[in-house]
Amino acid sequence: MDDQWAFFLRILPELWEGLKMSMYLSVGALSLGLVIGLPLALVKTYGHGVLRFVVTAYIEVVRGTPMVVQLFMVYFGLPELGIVIDRVPAAIIALAVNSSAYQAEYFRGAILSVSEGQYAAGRAIGMSQGQAVLHIILPQALRIVIPPWSNEMVYMVKYTSIAFLIAVPELMAQGQVIITRTFRPMETLFWVGLLYVIVLAILSQIVDWIETRVRIPGYQSDRRG
């Protein structure tokens, strides 16, 4: 047991570096995914014609293909078209593209769940369509979206681990480095896994706290399992 603990302390600095990289990837992918995903949701909900079709197709294609394929497309495929991107930004872009499609669907779901009457009431006091969406629908939808968005966050933090496949030194990759050096795979993976569990527990707590802070008094958001 002492031995295990000593081993953990010995590998902790390396894992810590990996964890920081994982967090960097997660924050990058989630925020970029948000920046892309929210407009997509608006177009898919309120748009029409070609634009709406393109957005819908984008969402379906991204959600219908594996994240690894998207990652390899960006990192190995794009250079053939003359677009060369470094590992870390490549990972962030691929993860963000993936996340944007899911976030778009979550936002759309939230927007649709704000009742029709809210929008009508906004228009009735003379707001334009844009104003009604911006001032009436979105403030409510952004609260409703928190629980599914929190799932997406957990999902992203976990899936940053695939960046290890293009040798980004995140937590999983650091673990692999340690395994090849020490030949102690089980212990290493145990500690790696534990770090993920702890980080995600903390992040979920924070999101829960935010959710309670911004909750509209007397208005319950229903949370699935």
Q: Is the dihedral of CA 151, 152, 157, 163 positive or negative?
A: positive
d(CA 172, CA 126): 54
Cβ at position 186, least distance to other proteins in Å:
6
Instruction: Produce one character per residue of 102-135: b if its CB has 16 or more CB atoms within 10 Å, e if not.
Output: bbbbbbbebbeebeeeebeebeeeebeeeebbee
* Three-state secondary-structure class, residue 188: helix
Of 154, 191, 159, give the one whose Cα is nearest residue 174.
Answer: 191
Of 39 and 89, CB closest to other proteins: 89
Of 140 and 188, CB closest to other proteins: 188
Query: 137-141 — which CB contacts under 8 Å span 24+ positions?
Result: 137/111, 138/111, 140/114, 140/216, 141/107, 141/110, 141/111, 141/113, 141/114
Of 50 and 186, CB closest to other proteins: 186
Cβ at position 147, least distance to other proteins in Å:
13
Of 140 and 174, CB closest to other proteins: 174
Within residues 16-75, the interface with other proteins by CB under 8 A covers 60-61, 63-70, 72-73
Cβ at position 198, least distance to other proteins in Å:
8
Of 37 and 175, CB closest to other proteins: 175
Within residues 183-222, the interface with other proteins by CB under 8 A covers 185-186, 189-190, 192-193, 196-197, 200-201
Within residues 133-172, the interface with other proteins by CB under 8 A covers 154, 158-159, 161-162, 164-165, 172
d(CA 6, CA 88): 31
Cβ at position 59, least distance to other proteins in Å:
12
User: Tell me, what DSSP letter sits at residue 126?
Assistant: T
d(CA 90, CA 83): 11
Write the DSSP string, 47-104.
--HHHHHHHHHHHHHHHHS-HHHHHHIIIIIGGGGT----HHHHHHHHHHHHHHHHHH
Of 80 and 116, CB closest to other proteins: 80
Within residues 79-118, the interface with other proteins by CB under 8 A covers 79-82
Cβ at position 220, least distance to other proteins in Å:
17
How many residues of this chain bind other proteins (CB under 8 A)? 41
Of 119 and 191, CB closest to other proteins: 191
Amino acid letter, 117:
G
The residues that touch other proteins, with contacts defined as CB under 8 A, are: 60-61, 63-70, 72-73, 76-82, 154, 158-159, 161-162, 164-165, 172, 175-176, 185-186, 189-190, 192-193, 196-197, 200-201, 224-225
